[in-house]
Structure 1
Amino acid sequence: MAADDDATIAAAAKAAEDQRLAAEAEARAKDARRAEDARRAEEAQATAVVNVKALIPVVLDQAANTYTKWCGMFLTVLGKYALTRHVLEDEAFPSRSAWVQADCCVLTWIYGTVSGDLQQSESLSIIDCCRQLESMAASLAKFGDPIGDQQMVLTLLRSLGGKFRHMVSILKMHRPFPTFAED
């Protein structure tokens, strides 16, 4: 009989522990859903911004040397709307329509706050694009915001237009990942 009592107590303890673990998992899942809902609400607010210049009055202009001020303001606004990952992380979610919409919003804000000269640099040749990217990276390093080699390569890949799209696929297949000098 004592063995039956021990087995019953052990089974009850296991059931209680299983119930506690299930409740904790459910609470974590509920918290994750709340956080995701809050993030989506913040991203939805971002799409309602019509005039980004009211939030970021500084235009990024290489000649006027406005990078530090523009960057600070831009990152602050991105943080306000929980969108920093769209510019500070390399991971993208093109299959998620909400992510794509938020990413387009960020790109619109960038285009709306960048000087015409910098916008025109999008149609450069690969060599000119590399030179300009190296120049910008050197300027950023002077301001204490250096860019790593892999980030340079990824920025180059993103900046290549449609006529160089085939090269993007080729470079992404290289193992190990190519350095900026190798590109």
Structure 2
Amino acid sequence: MMLHKAAAVLNLQAQAVAVQNIQSLIPVILDTAVDNYSPWGEQILLTVGKYSLQNHILHDVPVLASLDWGWMDCIVQSWLYGTIATDLVDVVMDCDEHGATTRATWLAIETQVLGNPEMRALYLDAKFRTFVQGDLSITYYCRYFKSMADVLGDLNEQVSGCTLILNIIRGLNKKFATISHDIQRSRPLRSFLEARDDLLLEELMMAPSSSTPSTALFTGINIGSSSHPSAPPHQSVRRSGSGGSKGGPSSKKKWDNGRRGG
């Protein structure tokens, strides 16, 4: 049983070594500007657990650490650095001592991201009050605003529903000016879900509509033509030939005379 378990662990570690791009397994990049520590941390733990490497993050170096353990620790540590923003990499490396373990790197990241809630709240609040839509879709724009409001609430900076709606309106693209005024003047002010649905409907109405087959067929008809359909080309040719049939009988007569003469 022990040999079977050891073989399974070795197989998982071989698969971990073969991972060339950790972002293919963990697409979330930890960034203090986005404040996405929770989804990042969850995906990190799921991935290291998949390869039976969670002890490298959750526990210190075992007393009887093998050479393989140190090798795999370097791999997991490289995964951490490969999934955090560049500016955060620089800060964490400055905090880490030379030869630091994955566990030490994990704690350094945690300290930088979660260790100063007051500064995080101040930074996120400033972003919340200046964020604009730009070219973002309404779905992503509203989701991002709601996410910032939720994180501020976790940092003991509660955002009221009214403040959330007014900031969403403030940062909207100018093409939503009409619906923005309608939402702003509504009494009572619409809820987040109601305002988002109204904006989604407005965005849908703005989408360019493609020509339907019936429209394309209609545009191909000559409205100024007679109600009778024009004759097919081969009929026109035959009619043109009959128009020149005035010379037809004389041609036949010449042929008959020639025949008699023969």
TM-score normalised per structure 2: 0.37
- What SS is found at the alignment partner of 1:56? coil
Pairwise CA RMSD of aligned residues? 2.8
When residues 134 and 108 of structure 1 are mapped into structure 2, their CA distance, relative to the original with a 3 A threshold, is closer
When residues 120 and 96 of structure 1 are mapped into structure 2, their CA distance, relative to the original with a 3 A threshold, is same
Q: Could you say which structure has the greater relative contact order, defined with CA pairs below 8 angstroms and 6 or more residues apart?
A: 1
Distance across 2 between alignment mates of 1:134 and 1:56: 20
For structure 2, the 5+ residue unaligned runs are: 98-107, 118-153, 156-262
Query: 1:123 maps to what in 2?
Result: 94
Q: Size of the alignment, in residue pairs?
A: 107
2:111 to 125, 133, 136: 133
Offset, 1:91? 3.1
Distance across 2 between alignment mates of 1:125 and 1:51: 23
The structure with the largest alpha-carbon Rg is 2
Encode CA deviations 1:20-58: one digit per residue, 9 max, x unaligned: xxxxxxxxxxx1121112111111110000010000011
Distance across 2 between alignment mates of 1:88 and 1:78: 10
- What SS is found at the alignment partner of 2:39? helix
Q: Do 1:93 and 1:99's aligned partners in 2 also have CA atoms closer than 8 Å?
A: no
Query: 1:96 maps to what in 2?
Result: 66
Q: Which amino acid aligns with 2:72?
A: A
Distance across 2 between alignment mates of 1:97 and 1:81: 18
Encode CA deviations 1:96-148: one digit per residue, 9 max, x unaligned: 1211111111011111101111111122599xxx9x93762455xx58xxxxx
2:77 to 95, 103, 107: 107
Q: Do 2:26 and 2:44's aligned partners in 1 also have CA atoms closer than 8 Å?
A: yes
Q: Do 1:42 and 1:81's aligned partners in 2 also have CA atoms closer than 8 Å?
A: yes
Does structure 1 residue 39 correspond to structure 2 residue 9? yes
Q: Which amino acid aligns with 2:32?
A: Q
Q: Do 1:60 and 1:70's aligned partners in 2 also have CA atoms closer than 8 Å?
A: yes
When residues 32 and 120 of structure 1 are mapped into structure 2, their CA distance, relative to the original with a 3 A threshold, is same
TM-score normalised per structure 1: 0.51
Structure 1 runs of 4+ off > 2 angstroms? 91-95, 132-139
Q: Do 1:75 and 1:84's aligned partners in 2 also have CA atoms closer than 8 Å?
A: yes
For structure 1, the 5+ residue unaligned runs are: 1-30, 144-183
Percent identity, aligned pairs only? 32
Distance across 1 between alignment mates of 2:67 and 2:96: 32
Distance across 1 between alignment mates of 2:96 and 2:11: 40
